[in-house]
Structure 1
Amino acid sequence: MDVRDSAGRWDALGSRDSSSRNAAMELIHQEVMKRIENIGPIPDPQSSSPSVMDDSLSSDLNSLLAHVLMLSKRCPYEDVREKCICLLQRVQVCIILIIELIVKIILNICSTIPYALHILCVF
């Protein structure tokens, strides 16, 4: 079975053949990580202009992650459930790193602009 197309990728997770499931999970893993990277380039902490996130990319990622979460709970194959859990944990770490970077950028901006923190709190 060709697991390269979107439908085939998900269908292969139901295969009795563990190598088909592994290949499908690898493609899903790559797709999730690619979508996280495509949300926007990780901004330079020294830069004062944050990147703008594309809502369609975020929505696609959310749909993909919702599907992975469902599989982590309901898939009849333990190997798929475990890999889905690992993928979700990796995404969680990536999101934490992105949030930490955003906080650093905000703190950098606040330290260079007088009353910037006050302005941010007002809005």
Structure 2
Amino acid sequence: MKPPTEGNILNWRWGYAIVFCKFTLLVFDGGIAKSFGVLLHEMVVRLNSSYAIVGFICSLPSTLTYLAGPLVSLLLERMNDRLVAGGGAILSATCLLICAFSTNVVLLGVCLALTGKGDYRR
């Protein structure tokens, strides 16, 4: 990689810091995602549920991310990006409030998936 010209010489080192931080985050993030097999029995016991329901809840964030992609792309073509981001923030906040008062495990999983808090692939 060739060093940048003197016009932006102060900013080129930040690229390495950003790449290092992202790498570190993804290492921990991947570890959390891969540890679900170890934690599966404990989640079934604590949630007083079955393996099928816990597996369904764990698969919801990835599923909803892929299903929402075309819808968000369509909204971004027709609307302002700030409105779409604001709508996502309102949806996320509403789902977090529902999670606080939810007693149903499946509703809790769906709301957490809609907030994006359970998506460990990113």
- Per the normalisation by structure 2, the TM-score is 0.31
Q: Which has the higher contact order (CA 8 A, sep 6+)?
A: 2
Higher helix share: 2
